[in-house]
Structure 1
Amino acid sequence: MSSSDVSRPAKPETVFDRDAEWNALNTFAGDTRPGAGLAVVSGRLRQGKTHLLKALTAALGGFYFGAQQATRAESLRRLGDGLARYTGGTPPPHRWRGWEDAVDALLALGDQRPVPVVIDEFPDLVRQSPELPSVIHSAYRRLRDTGRDNRARLLLSGSSLPVMHRLFSVASPLRGLADLELTLHQLDFRQAARFWGIDEPGLALLVHAVVGGTPAYRLYVGDDAPSGPGDFDAWVCRAVLNPRTPLFLEAHHLLQEETDHWDRALCHSALAALASGCSTQGEIAESLGAPLTDASHCLALLQTNGLLCNEPDAFRPNLIRLRITEPLLAFEHAAVWPHRSELGQQDAAEVWRHARPVFDSAVVGPHFARICRDWVKDFADPALFGARPATVAHGSLPDPAGHAGSDTEAEVVVRGRVGTRSGALLSVGAARRNEVMDLPHLEHLRHLLELLAADGEDVTHARPACYSGVGFTPALRAAEAHGQVVLVGLDRLYQGE
């Protein structure tokens, strides 16, 4: 559907950022053209979908219904009660014969004007009423066949990514009905810093390495944010490792909700293996002491639910690494998991004293490299490397001498299009969160480029880049001034291009 030239309500101040998402939903819901519309809103738990949709219906005078895990009869009764309150009519539970009547009643709200009608957590209804997608499809077909001037704007939302994908797959009756498909992701690292009210980039990086960009987690710690870099460790103890805050067991609850009733012990162990440095299915299976088939099933489940993602190596595309997408899960399984039982008997500060070195090495280091890749992809000036990045990934080459475990690596490898050639190598970069970078780091990157050239890679356009969380030596700054290297520090990551 296209937008019409009518005024749109401004985004409420209670909705942080999400400008693009608000505009897309607002345009869809307020479109005055005839014909019922359908939108799909998905995204993992805790990302603010419900808050955004409630704000939309409040701004446009729409109807919101939040589904729950309940029987078909109870869901219909709750929906009827909610619709009666909205319209000022009589609850219709005894008049509705089933979902056919309920869907018709919801769509009838759009007979007079465009009106957003939200069914939140739609998968919870489908679990008890598998016929519901077909019922909705039939209702839309009837509206189309009768030519009724209906402008209902139905929005179906859900946090269960596997179910949402299945509901709108090729085989689904809802396929092709949607005018808008919108996914809410985590806030990016810059948005997260503003959301937590943190101006100091080093502190923002540490907090993001713990809680990522999930908006709900600030509420889970009672809006408690570190007051400054010196308060970070105390904040972890009082807000994250405190059994009295909802965040304390959030990693456990998140895994429980996302993986349903599968083998959660195996999932926890798989995440612990990933957080400790294992990155391929074979390495994880070996760490678990489990058959590869069991490990693969577990990892596939975590991927389907958006908790893991595949990342092909920038130099060896057949080498696929797995990465935890939710920072809180990486923090939990690398730094906290080995000490979880001690938190009930010991002071949190004592536990954190033992966990902090692991956090710095196994969590913050890889997280810093990920933020550097995100910066190149989302914030760097396209002219910095000569073209707009197409892919930004970790890359590794086997040691030429064949020494095991001696790969030559680059944490930030940028590829793009140069002329007619896609996939051209634009940059190889090293990311060091806790090292002042010097000329040897540049020499490492030059050596890597020599290896790539010897292997047949065109390195003509490739620029070395150094990313550091603590700075660069004068000698490396001088090399930057002569155009020999690109330097990116925390200030540039958080504020520059």
Structure 2
Amino acid sequence: MFDRDHEWEALARFITDEQPGATLGVVSGRRRQGKTFLLDAACRAAGGFYFGATEAADAESLRRISAALTEHSRPPSPYHFAHWAEVIDALFALGSERPVPVVIDEFPYLAKANPELPSIIQEALRPLRDQRVASRTRLLLCGSALAFMGKLLSGNAPLRGRSGLELIVRPLDHRLAADFWGITDPRLALMVHSIVGGTPAYRREFARGDSPSGPEDFDDWVVRTVLNAETPLFREARYLLAEEPDLRDTTLYLSVLGAVADGNATRGGIASYLERKATDIAHPINVLEDVGFLHRDADVFRENRPTYRITEPLIGFYHAIMRPVWDQLERPGNARRVWQASRRRFVSNVLGPHFEQICREWALYHADPDLLGGLPARVGHGTIHDPKARTGHEVDVAVIGIADNGKPPLLAIGEAKWNDTMGAAHLQRLHHIRDLITRTGRYDTTHTKLLCFSGAGFNDKALTAADASPDIHLIDLPVLYGRV
């Protein structure tokens, strides 16, 4: 197990809790993050029961869990459950003597076949019900269908207020992903992360441990793994969409993702790209948000102008690089030719936007609050209008602090350039943007820092300016990866 210390400790506290009464926990997260591995390991360590559901009719699932529980507990006669209420009572009986973890993995499959199942579990967890009071079963429901799992404990859902644990297993961040892939070069690590993100399964199972040996091996690695029709990574982005139960007709959803991957980040831009009305794409955008493939970022300077980004790097890479030339990639031996022709598009449509997002995440999660002048409340991006020049200036990184009886402080603004050596012109632009923001009166810019993020470094003028001013900070790749 790599890094999942926080998740393991949370599970351990929940599972070993000695208080009487059966309790419920919910574990969710995108596919391939290691949820099953984590929960199976917890069951093995604590002598619990693990059941992995499949997409099947209700009667078949009842037969499967009957057989699995019979094999686990060895009762005098085999179980033959006719209803899920009987299953839940039998699972509660496992914890009659001590706290015992019971995992039902891929719970959405069961609930899809029997929508009453959450209500059945709610009834079983009634506070004064004898079977619950006499049990110390720690029931864990797990699922990868984010839209379903997100609603399981929300609003008027039957299980709202019944759960003692709500654990989300997230992808590894860019620093942990570099360690997991065994990559020490920050530039190479970010390039790899822009394609496969922080999903653990993509290295061990899907790429069979194949990691680029160095920067000079990156192009060959892309050709022999992601663009290789013989590897699981090649079709993974398509399967991620197909596996989501809420995406029945994927045609329009694919087109929306393709529009975003092509640089159309606003709702109007997506609609124009698809030659549709903005109202026509509202539903697919909302569904893609619910299932975790799109994220809505509010413009920190204009709240009514949100932008959208693809959250899973492999899906973004697929739509930007692979989907437009899918027929060519399926032809054996054509991957290298396609990659050579796609390199420029990769830098502009994949690597550049991904670098900007990593810079925002660094400011939010990794930057020293002393460097920023405070703890960030949120980090985003936006566009500030320049009335004199009649244009808008994009701000790649905007760090907002915690308001203290007044206007919220703008802790920092930053510009991120992957391939540009940054200099005095970039700093002058940030100075000008800070002045424009000050005139709007929305944020307190008294102590706003100026941040330059570069994947290519800084020239002497930028270095001199940073040495001369405590308000200017130059952030390179080693800093983003905590290597300095």
TM-score (norm 1): 0.93
In the alignment, the residues of structure 2 paired with residue 40 and residue 47 of structure 1 have an alpha-carbon distance, to the nearest angstrom, of 15
Matched, 1:372 2:356: no
In the alignment, the residues of structure 1 paired with residue 415 and residue 153 of structure 2 have an alpha-carbon distance, to the nearest angstrom, of 41
1:225: which partner in 2?
211
SS at match of 1:464: strand
Deviations along 1:16-56, one digit per CA (max 9) or x if unpaired, are: 11111110011000111211111000111111111110011
1:344–1:375 Cα change, 3 Å: same
Deviations along 1:304-339, one digit per CA (max 9) or x if unpaired, are: 100001101121122111111001111111122222
SS at match of 2:243: helix
Q: 1:68 aligns with which of 47, 54, 66?
A: 54
Preserved CA contact (<8 Å) 2:107 2:143: yes
In the alignment, the residues of structure 2 paired with residue 147 and residue 432 of structure 1 have an alpha-carbon distance, to the nearest angstrom, of 58
2:85: which partner in 1?
100
2:160: which partner in 1?
175
2:477: which partner in 1?
490
Preserved CA contact (<8 Å) 1:237 1:348: yes
In the alignment, the residues of structure 2 paired with residue 17 and residue 143 of structure 1 have an alpha-carbon distance, to the nearest angstrom, of 39
Preserved CA contact (<8 Å) 2:62 2:82: no
Instruction: Using the TM superposition, give the Cα deviation of residue 280 of structure 1 relative to its aligned residue in structure 2, in angstroms.
Output: 1.2
In the alignment, the residues of structure 2 paired with residue 87 and residue 146 of structure 1 have an alpha-carbon distance, to the nearest angstrom, of 18
Instruction: Using the TM superposition, give the Cα deviation of residue 87 of structure 1 relative to its aligned residue in structure 2, in angstroms.
Output: 1.1
Q: 2:3 aligns with which of 3, 17, 27?
A: 17
Give the residue type in structure 2 aligned to 1:369.
E
SS at match of 1:112: coil
In the alignment, the residues of structure 2 paired with residue 267 and residue 334 of structure 1 have an alpha-carbon distance, to the nearest angstrom, of 15
Preserved CA contact (<8 Å) 1:239 1:247: yes
Structure 1: give runs of 5+ residues left out of the alignment: 1-14
Instruction: Using the TM superposition, give the Cα deviation of residue 265 of structure 1 relative to its aligned residue in structure 2, in angstroms.
Output: 1.7
Preserved CA contact (<8 Å) 2:36 2:105: yes
Instruction: Using the TM superposition, give the Cα deviation of residue 200 of structure 1 relative to its aligned residue in structure 2, in angstroms.
Output: 0.5
1:284: which partner in 2?
270
1:122–1:235 Cα change, 3 Å: same
1:161: which partner in 2?
146
Which segment drifts farther, 462-471 or 134-143?
134-143
Deviations along 1:54-99, one digit per CA (max 9) or x if unpaired, are: 01101111100001111111111111111111112356443x2311
Matched, 1:312 2:320: no
Instruction: Using the TM superposition, give the Cα deviation of residue 452 of structure 1 relative to its aligned residue in structure 2, in angstroms.
Output: 1.3
Matched, 1:436 2:455: no
Preserved CA contact (<8 Å) 2:93 2:131: no
2:176: which partner in 1?
191
SS at match of 1:290: coil
Matched, 1:258 2:234: no
SS at match of 1:237: helix
In the alignment, the residues of structure 2 paired with residue 252 and residue 265 of structure 1 have an alpha-carbon distance, to the nearest angstrom, of 11
Instruction: Using the TM superposition, give the Cα deviation of residue 164 of structure 1 relative to its aligned residue in structure 2, in angstroms.
Output: 1.4
Count of matched residue positions in the alignment of Structure 1 and Structure 2 = 480
Identity of matched residues, %:
48
Q: 1:361 aligns with which of 337, 341, 348?
A: 348
Give the residue type in structure 2 aligned to 1:69.
E
Give the residue type in structure 2 aligned to 1:428.
I
Give the residue type in structure 2 aligned to 1:323.
R
1:4: which partner in 2?
none
Which segment drifts farther, 61-70 or 452-461?
452-461
Give the residue type in structure 2 aligned to 1:118.
V
In the alignment, the residues of structure 2 paired with residue 91 and residue 131 of structure 1 have an alpha-carbon distance, to the nearest angstrom, of 28
In the alignment, the residues of structure 2 paired with residue 357 and residue 58 of structure 1 have an alpha-carbon distance, to the nearest angstrom, of 48
Preserved CA contact (<8 Å) 2:23 2:163: yes
2:315: which partner in 1?
329
1:8: which partner in 2?
none
In the alignment, the residues of structure 1 paired with residue 47 and residue 417 of structure 2 have an alpha-carbon distance, to the nearest angstrom, of 51
Instruction: Using the TM superposition, give the Cα deviation of residue 262 of structure 1 relative to its aligned residue in structure 2, in angstroms.
Output: 2.9
Deviations along 1:271-327, one digit per CA (max 9) or x if unpaired, are: 111011111111101101123233111111111100001101121122111111001
Q: 2:20 aligns with which of 34, 39, 42?
A: 34
SS at match of 2:111: helix
Preserved CA contact (<8 Å) 1:313 1:393: yes
Preserved CA contact (<8 Å) 1:439 1:476: yes
Deviations along 1:116-158, one digit per CA (max 9) or x if unpaired, are: 0000011110111112112112212276457843211000011
Give matches, 1:408-487, under 5 Å: 408-417=393-402, 419-421=404-406, 423-457=408-442, 458-482=444-468, 483-487=470-474
1:7: which partner in 2?
none
1:393: which partner in 2?
380
Preserved CA contact (<8 Å) 1:39 1:153: yes
Deviations along 1:170-211, one digit per CA (max 9) or x if unpaired, are: 212211110011111111111111111111000000000000
Give matches, 1:78-157, under 5 Å: 78-89=64-75, 92-94=78-80, 96-141=81-126, 144=129, 148-157=133-142
1:480–1:397 Cα change, 3 Å: same
Preserved CA contact (<8 Å) 2:422 2:452: yes
In the alignment, the residues of structure 1 paired with residue 223 and residue 132 of structure 2 have an alpha-carbon distance, to the nearest angstrom, of 62
1:335–1:259 Cα change, 3 Å: farther
SS at match of 1:417: coil
